[in-house]
Amino acid sequence: MPSEVRHLVNRDQSFPLVRLTGVLDADTAAPVRSTLLDVLAGQPEAVVVDVAGLRVLQADALSVLREVLDETRDWPAARLALCCPGDANGTAWESTGWPVWPDRAGAFAALGSPDQGRRVSLELEPVVGAARRARGMITETCLRWELAELAGDACIVATEMVNNVVAHAHTRMWVLLARHGDTLSVAVRDESPVLPRFAGPVAPTAYGGRGLLLIDSVAVRWGRLALAGGKVVWAHLDPERITV
């Protein structure tokens, strides 16, 4: 009988709480990854994952949690916490690199209160003018966050990402902006599974193909995450690498 993992996401907490139950092995690692990335794609400040009801039959399967941690280290830079009440094998969970707590209360207390002012989002349809609306939101938010020096590069990134969705994905999208100290992350989530490919510089006579090149030129890091219902493309900006 094939193993399975069930999940329940509770968003009525200060941060999303994900309860995983079932068996974690080579067959169920991919659904666990998909579940966690889908929650993280909403760009919460933090996520608590309760693994009390999760049995690990194969130690190698724990690598999925390390992969999620690595994939989202720069975006959305959410604080992550595992809680495993009554788990005698806590050292195994600690090997994932996630902070581990013996109970949910301790995990939520350690994360503290959310600061909603550091995350904003804007839903857009794939129509002409979408990039202009994204730039308006970004410019206003950067001024409010006293990060005006990053507004120009953030608008470059958002314009390229949004226009790519309008031209190719043709789906709804969500522009996500987050402040991390003096740095900024910009991301666009859409409902197309097709991941953008970056092939480096293009010929001067080439038509198109410069969007990711522009993003690469202004961002300190950028990447993409494949989701069950689409993807997220993100970029991390730092005032020490301002281009405009």
> Using one digit for the tens of pLDDT, what is the confidence trace for 47-68?
999 999 999 988 899 999 999 9
pLDDT number for residue 207:
34
Decide if pLDDT at 89 tops 80: no
9 and 18 Cβ atoms separated by less than 8 Å: yes
Q: Which residues contact 19 (CB under 8 A, 6 or more apart)?
A: 7, 8, 9, 10, 49, 50, 52, 53
Q: What confidence tens digit (pLDDT) does each residue in 1-32 have?
A: 578 999 999 999 999 999 999 999 999 999 99
What are the chain's domains? 5-111 (3.30.750.24), 116-241 (3.30.565.10)
pLDDT number for residue 210:
59
Query: Mean per-residue pLDDT for 131-139?
Result: 98
Query: Mean per-residue pLDDT for 90-105?
Result: 88
Percent of the chain with pLDDT over 70: 91
pLDDT number for residue 199:
55
How far apart are alpha carbons 140 and 156 in whole angstroms?
A: 15
Sequence-separated contacts (24+) of 94-101 with Cβ below 8 Å: 95/62, 95/66, 96/62, 96/65, 96/66, 96/69, 97/65, 97/66, 97/69, 98/49, 98/65, 98/69
